Structure 1
Amino acid sequence: MTDPVLALDGATLSLDGNAGRIEILHGLTLDVRRGETLALVGPSGSGKSSLLMLMGGLERATSGSVMALGHDLGGMDEDALARFRRDHMGVVFQSFHLIPTMTALENVATPLELAGRKDAFDRAEAELTAVGLGHRADHYPSQMSGGEQQRVALARASAPRPEILLADEPTGNLDETNGSAIIDLLLGLRDQHGATLVLVTHSQSLAARCDRTIRLRDGRLDTGATAKAAE
């Protein structure tokens, strides 16, 4: 058996709030295998997005460990984490996080340029074409619909060919038609490039298309919930 791409061992997350220390995640232990598609589901406030942020090194575990591709994310400083995400991870947010002063082409090319890719704009153009937006390359985010902006965000996340793709409610701001198209694109990227995909979703149809579903409740893995295991 190969080592897991992502491995959490007793990971906890606590944050300081106005009312004092808040316990967000409680001793989570979880492995994600290479090439697996994992859906994180559960009620609002259950810790799904916080767990995704731990996996991406965007939040630091208060205790326990978070390993990605054999690297201890807790042992890296912020610069090392940023370089690790640049080289190995793609992150897609519900609110797109496109740079408003850049065109679609420039948004997709930016992480490639940061990685020193000489073909950054050629690759960006190819990625936009792959998500059906080659004709919108010169448009700014404000000139595009929500579905189009999410497709640009997907192109940007997948362009560097990350081993790990993390998506936080990727269909949450979209209507059913656009949401279905984004689901198809996400799974297509996994199939084409072999990325390990972890996503947070409230969509039953999206979760049903994943290899495995994990349910969270009150910051804990809901071991009593029915989940579809990977073959």
Structure 2
Amino acid sequence: MTMQTTAPILRLQEASLSLNGNTGVVEILHQIDLEVTAGETLGLIGPSGSGKSSLLMVMGGLEQASGGTITALGQDLTAMNEDALARFRRDHMGVVFQSFHLIPTMTALENVATPLELAGHADAFERAQAELEAVGLRARAGHFPAQLSGGEQQRVALARAVAPRPDILLADEPTGNLDEANGRAIMDLLFDLRDRHGATLIMVTHAPELAARCDRVVHLRDGRLDLAATQKAAE
């Protein structure tokens, strides 16, 4: 279900994130201002520890911002409680993690069908089967994660993320745990699925070839947008 809005599909206004560490409060993100348009593919890059993954988690409501506002599809995520955020993600967002996060006691088919079942889709397993076929895993639908290679597990994770037809697809280093050949295959699949479903894609990546395929790249450094680096890349 797509919510109609003329505003940016995602907007961050002075978004900040601080966490309690062993030595006190640690400032992770500092007053991030960023807008993402519908259908855009945005890459988040920067050195390790720059806050890329934290920014992605804040965008998806997986981490609660400590300050500022985050608006997605016209809805204020910072005003939602955990239950409301979970429902919003279920209906409008797909998330792909570097480490797959598949449920080990479920088959590939069951892993993909689970979010569809939770959303109340009567055809959950039919849609899950179609998505597995789309990522080339028709013959592996009945296998458990431990019986799949890393590349196959990431394909299942991709199928699970896109099966509910999300408006926004978030990917955190989707090729980070894969070898070069599998990483390239996952890159192609990611963009194919984006095109097929028309989702807005936001991804964290260290892979220059993946960043180069994005419509726009944003650089982070020390929890801040590196405007100079971002502007240089755009020139």
Q: TM-score, normalised by structure 1?
A: 0.98
Equivalent pairs: percent with the same residue? 73
What is the Cα deviation at residue 103 of structure 1? 0.1
Which of residues 147, 169, 173 in structure 2 aligns to 1:165?
169
Which of residues 46, 52, 71 in structure 2 aligns to 1:48?
52
What is the Cα deviation at residue 227 of structure 1? 2.9
Residue 27 of structure 2 corresponds to 23
What is the Cα deviation at residue 50 of structure 1? 0.3
Residue 212 of structure 2 corresponds to 208
* Equivalent-residue separation in structure 1 for 2:144 and 2:30 (angstroms): 41
Describe how 1:62-101 pairs up with structure 2 within 5 A: 62-101=66-105
Unaligned runs of 5+ in 1: none
Describe how 1:125-204 pairs up with structure 2 within 5 A: 125-204=129-208
* Equivalent-residue separation in structure 2 for 1:227 and 1:37 (angstroms): 15
* Equivalent-residue separation in structure 1 for 2:129 and 2:234 (angstroms): 37
State the superposition RMSD in angstroms. Answer: 1.0
Q: Which residue type is aligned with residue 188 of structure 2?
A: D
* Equivalent-residue separation in structure 1 for 2:216 and 2:103 (angstroms): 33
Q: Which residue type is aligned with residue 163 of structure 2?
A: A
Q: TM-score, normalised by structure 2?
A: 0.96
* Equivalent-residue separation in structure 2 for 1:228 and 1:51 (angstroms): 21
What is the Cα deviation at residue 2 of structure 1? 3.3
- Does residue 1:6 correspond to 2:10, yes or no? yes
Residue 118 of structure 1 corresponds to 122
What is the Cα deviation at residue 148 of structure 1? 0.2
Instruction: Kindly tell me the number of residue pairs found equivalent between the two proteins.
Output: 229
